[in-house]
Amino acid sequence: MLAKADYFKPIDPSLQNAEFIAVAPRGFWRDVWDRFKVNKRALIGLIVLAVIVLAAVIGPVLSPYPYDGMGTEINAKMSLKHWFGTDALGRDLFTRSLYGVRISLLVGFLTTFINMVVGVIYGGIAGYVGGKTDMIMMRIVDVIYAIPSLLYVILLMLIFGSNVGSIMLGMCISGWIGTSRMMRTQVIALKEREFVLAAYTEGASARRILLRHMLTNALSPLLVQATMAIPQAIFQEAFLSFIGMGISAPQASLGTLAQDARMYMTVYPHQMFCPVSIICIIIFALNFISEGLSEALDPTRRH
Amino acid sequence: MALLEIKNLSVDFKTRNGVVHAVRDVSYQIDTGQMLGIVGESGSGKSVGMLALMGLLAKNGSVVSGQMLFDGRDISPLAEEFHGDMKAYEKAMEEIRGVKIGMIFQDPMTYLNPVLKIGTQITEGIIKHDKCSKQEAKTRAIELMKQVGIPSPEDRFDQYPFEFSGGMRQRIVIAIALACRPRLIIADEPTTALDVTVQAQIIDLLKELAKEKNMAVIMITHDLGVVSMMCERVNIMYAGKIVETGSLDEIFYETKHPYTKGLLDSVGTHAGTGRQSLLSIPGTPPDLLKLHSGCAFMPRCREAMNICRDYQPAEVCFGADHCASCWHFCKDRADEIVKAQEG
Amino acid sequence: MREQEPVIKVRHLKKYFMANRHILKPSDYVKAVDDVSLEIYPGETVGLVGESGCGKSTLARSIIRIYEPTAGEVIYKGADITHLSNAKLRQYRNKMQMIFQDPYASLNPRYTVGEIIGEPMEIYRMYDKAGREAKVQELLELVGLKPDHISRYPHEFSGGQRQRIGIARTLALDPDFIICDEPISALDVSIQAQIINLLEKLQDERKLTYLFIAHDLTMVKHISHKIGVMYLGHLVEFGDADEVYSNPLHPYTRALLSAAPIADPKKARESKRIKLEGEVPSPIHAPEGCPFCTRCAECRPECRITPPIMANQDGHKVACFKYV
């Protein structure tokens, strides 16, 4: 309580604190997470995806059935013993679906990751160096992009056989182009930003500017793009497997499971229904995450 | 009767981190033909008050109290006339905004539609509110363009905003603001984005037009130079409050509030030229989310006293209408003021 | 003559940007900086003033080699740095630093204040981690902030505070020449004076040399020893600050001086303003002769033919035919 006698005495300067900052210190990613978790759909998507990933990783280990083990019960219905039933060769479909999820997620995440890395490096260099180098690099991109990616996959399958590796390689050959174009535009815009100029006048190397200043600030749109690219890759793999160009038996992906079930669709619809709905759930979850992430990363929503 | 009278206006914004009291209990008035300057730094609430008047607050902002009497009619969204009916309020504002009250903004490019010919943009308002033919509207628009000093207006009528320079664009915005013969013009930093020599042209233009058409002008600016060139009265705002109000000369030569003094020292009004001649206000403008109970300027004030930290000062008037809110002038009423704030 | 050697000497510097590439006829160029020469001596502040598009920022960026000059020389303490490769330029980079205009854009939003101010020292491998932190805290106090602000992010600060962080960063390498590229024009009035005073204090303490860029003359007069006025890529007047203020020679300088709003109603009422007609012409189609001839009230026939050369009147230089 302020004594009356002290009312009009000059204030102690330490009580003035004119450089006071009212907000609590918070990093960028902390902020992003705070915004992300308010978005219910995105949060549910993240939880669902986490459950699926966990199931795919530890599920097959706990399952009493091997993925290629044939049994005597063929085309069994969904039951407590066989959650998704069995296929025409008596293999447990739940175990096979979990394996399929493994492959789908592997293809989705790994190809996207490779595409991101290649695209960021390529686009970053083109945008940063500029001039003739940029022109030549972008023309090369145009040429690669001119050939449909399906053609690459088919060619690689002919050479390396149909396995996960050749599918992923095929999807990577032209998959990084979108990222590289995006990164290039980002870098060209960031080049004129004052904090990049500041780093430049401090004598920072090109590598440092690209990695520390440009990549960190281009990361938001890149991440959003990546979360959209993952479901696309999963879909593409499923599609290739479905048209019979995917991995070969006894391995299974969600796509080949659907392909195998096609013949019995009218009799045993659950064989088709289970893998397809897993694909749907994964893709929904990823799309929700992507949407939530792009909102959380959008700097215009920052106060 | 005053043309516009603002009484106890308060505006709040809801943000993620809490409620921001952007305008706190602001009252003032302006008469027909008068030029009022509202001076303040970013975050002082000088623009927010005007946006509230025009019904243009962002979605998270709202008028929480106060009256805004334009020509005797309360045009606040809280006015009795509207009974809290926002549709009725919006409809009423459409008849006022841009018609009876014209607006000029800082960046003409964000105000002008880049894909519409400027002729269309000027005539739009005329046709809508005067209900005249296209041809009449065009004649009026060209007349307006001539008045605001656009050379060969007939040819430029059909051009797009990007074909104009910054100064010319601002002239077009002024022409649009004048189109419906408003009685009041609100100019929000109209010259800040312009070059110095162009700024001088625009200020002269506004001054001439206001005199000729007997319009009142509210000039919102951070630039004391602009104010001394064109205003008759000045309100100085800090952290959502008017800390000092008076005639131009009273503000500059009989300065009362320590913040006003600091501002004048900062621009070197009373200083000579040469180095080391500026006195500045220390520190940084306050965060409106975390204001303490006392005077918002206390943390940066050279003359702060103990009482400033805990209690708000009351407004004290020195002449007909030269008033300031500072504890240095209301010491004798301290007991009464403190009691009122504690109760 | 002066005995001291200039810190920065700019000789006939030109920087052209290609505006439209034509194949059959010569391409259009924007002559952003056209034949500018000036010298900056140790411990002094040269104020560079001009309206938008006059080339003042381009000149600054060409001096500090963000842009490659089209022609001419930049000499730092006797060494020609115009054509040095990036690697060789590194030994001068720490001596020349720049403060930028927009305090919201000049600090990388992803890093803490400590990382931002510490970065130049990291690049030059100065001190170990703890030493750098101590130095950052020292610099923060030097610019009037608190040592515990070190772990905060730029968006938590106000504009003026950010600009002070920017100043602390430029000081990290102990430079002797700093280009201030409109460091106050994005700031509030009360903060502008703060920054000017801080820059002056630092100059006195650390014997710094400044090139201070601004778009009008009101604040520049409080910090500059000398003033240069630019118009459409040309330096039209250069001289001691007091001289340029009390006795402006070039018609453009006079107009610029009188157009600046005076924050003093009595003086504003008394002052007779020179009204300039029109606006700065496009730099792609700049006038043939004197760049200012399209807006000049005193334009003579010879002004339209060739650009005037700098006339030197006891160190007060002006490029106008009136003084040739």
B54 to chain C, closest Cα gap in Å: 25
The whole-angstrom separation of Cα A214 and Cα A188 is 10
- Maximum Cα–Cα distance across chain C: 67
- Does residue B90 sit in the same domain as residue B165? no
- Does residue B187 sit in the same domain as residue B86? yes
pTM of the predicted model, to two decimals? 0.86
The whole-angstrom separation of Cα C127 and Cα C114 is 14
Residue B105 lies in a domain: no
Which residues of chain B make contact with A39, given a CB cutoff of 8 A?
none
Residue contact C190–B262, C-beta within 8 A: yes
CATH topology for C8-95+177-280 is: Rossmann fold (3.40.50)
- Does residue B56 sit in the same domain as residue B18? yes
Which residues of chain B make contact with A21, given a CB cutoff of 8 A?
287
Count of CB atoms situated within 10 Å of the CB of B131 = 9
The pLDDT assigned to A7 comes to 79
Q: Which of B179, B204, B227 is the last residue of a domain?
A: B179
Query: What would the pLDDT profile of A148-196 be if each residue is shown by its tens digit?
Result: 888 888 888 888 877 788 888 888 888 899 999 999 999 999 998 999 9
- Does residue B171 sit in the same domain as residue B200? no
A176 to chain B, closest Cα gap in Å: 36
Q: How far apart are the first and last CA of chain B?
A: 35
Strands B35-39 and B216-221, how do they pair?
Answer: parallel
Question: Taking the domains of chain C in order of start, what are their residue ranges?
Answer: 8-95+177-280, 106-174
CA distances to B103, B147, B206, B282, C140 from B212, rounded to whole Å, are 18, 11, 10, 43, 54
The pLDDT mean for chain A works out to 83
The pLDDT assigned to B274 comes to 59
The tokens for C97 are: 């630093």
Note the Cα C5 to chain centre separation in Å: 20
- ipTM of this complex: 0.87
- Does residue B173 sit in the same domain as residue B189? no
Query: What would the pLDDT profile of B243-290 be if each residue is shown by its tens digit?
Result: 999 999 999 999 999 999 999 888 876 666 556 667 888 888 888 888
Q: What is the mean pLDDT of each run of 10 residues along chain C (324 residues)?
A: 78 87 78 90 92 88 91 90 86 90 89 92 88 93 90 88 93 93 87 90 92 85 90 92 89 88 82 77 80 85 84 86 80
Number of domains in chain B: 2
The whole-angstrom separation of Cα C257 and Cα C9 is 27
The pLDDT assigned to A140 comes to 93
A12 to chain B, closest Cα gap in Å: 8
Residue contact A202–C173, C-beta within 8 A: yes
- Does residue B200 sit in the same domain as residue B88? yes
* CATH class in words for A39-62+85-298: mainly alpha
Tell me which H or E stretch contains C115.
helix C113-123
Query: Which among C190, C197, C261 has the least Cβ separation from residue B228?
Result: C261
Residue B286 lies in a domain: no
Whether the bond into A250 is cis, omega within 30 of 0: yes
Kindly list the partner chains of chain B, i.e. chains with 3 or more CB atom pairs below 8 Å: A, C
Residue B294 lies in a domain: no
C260 to chain B, closest Cα gap in Å: 6
Range 190-209 of C in CB contact (< 8 A) with B: 190-194, 196-197, 200
Instruction: Identify which of A260, A269, A276 has the alpha carbon closest to the alpha carbon of residue A89.
Output: A260
Beta bridge partners of A241: none
Instruction: Provide the residue range defining the domain that includes B126.
Output: 116-179
Which residues of chain B make contact with C219, given a CB cutoff of 8 A?
268
The tokens for A161 are: 């056989």
Q: What is the CA radius of gyration of chain A?
A: 26
Count of CB atoms situated within 10 Å of the CB of B283 = 22
The whole-angstrom separation of Cα A158 and Cα B149 is 74
Per-residue pLDDT of chain B (343 residues; tens, 9 = 90+): 789 999 999 999 998 778 899 999 999 999 998 999 999 988 888 999 999 999 889 888 999 999 999 988 899 888 888 888 888 999 899 888 888 999 998 888 888 888 999 999 999 888 888 788 888 899 999 999 988 888 888 888 999 988 888 888 888 999 999 888 899 999 998 888 788 888 888 888 899 989 998 999 999 998 888 999 889 999 999 999 999 999 999 999 999 999 999 998 888 766 665 566 678 888 888 888 888 888 999 988 988 888 888 889 999 999 888 999 999 998 888 888 888 888 6
- Tell me B11's DSSP state: E
Question: Taking the domains of chain A in order of start, what are their residue ranges?
Answer: 39-62+85-298
**CB of C186 closer than 8 Å to CB of C103:** yes
Beta bridge partners of C71: C14
- Does residue B273 sit in the same domain as residue B214? yes
> CA nearest A8 in B: which residue?
B305
Residue B283 main-chain phi, psi, to 5 deg: 75, -160
Instruction: Identify which of B192, B163, B190, B193 has the alpha carbon closest to the alpha carbon of residue B175.
Output: B190
- Does residue B8 sit in the same domain as residue B21? yes
Beta bridge partners of B316: B324
The tokens for A229 are: 């690219």
Residue contact B197–C159, C-beta within 8 A: no
- Does residue B56 sit in the same domain as residue B143? no
Give the angle B191-B208-B213 at the CA atoms, nearest 5°: 115
The whole-angstrom separation of Cα A233 and Cα A108 is 5
- Does residue B93 sit in the same domain as residue B189? yes
Instruction: Identify which of A228, A257, A230 has the alpha carbon closest to the alpha carbon of residue A241.
Output: A257
Residue contact B223–C256, C-beta within 8 A: no
Place of tokens 């215009």: A300
CATH number at residue B78: 3.40.50.300
Which residues of chain A make contact with B306, given a CB cutoff of 8 A?
2, 6-11
Note the Cα C310 to chain centre separation in Å: 20
The pLDDT assigned to B43 comes to 83
Residue contact C189–B266, C-beta within 8 A: yes
> CA nearest B285 in C: which residue?
C158
Residue B59 lies in a domain: yes
- Does residue B174 sit in the same domain as residue B192? no
Query: Which among B17, B300, B301 has the least Cβ separation from residue A303?
Result: B17
Residue contact B300–A16, C-beta within 8 A: yes
Count of CB atoms situated within 10 Å of the CB of C101 = 22
Residue contact C106–A25, C-beta within 8 A: no
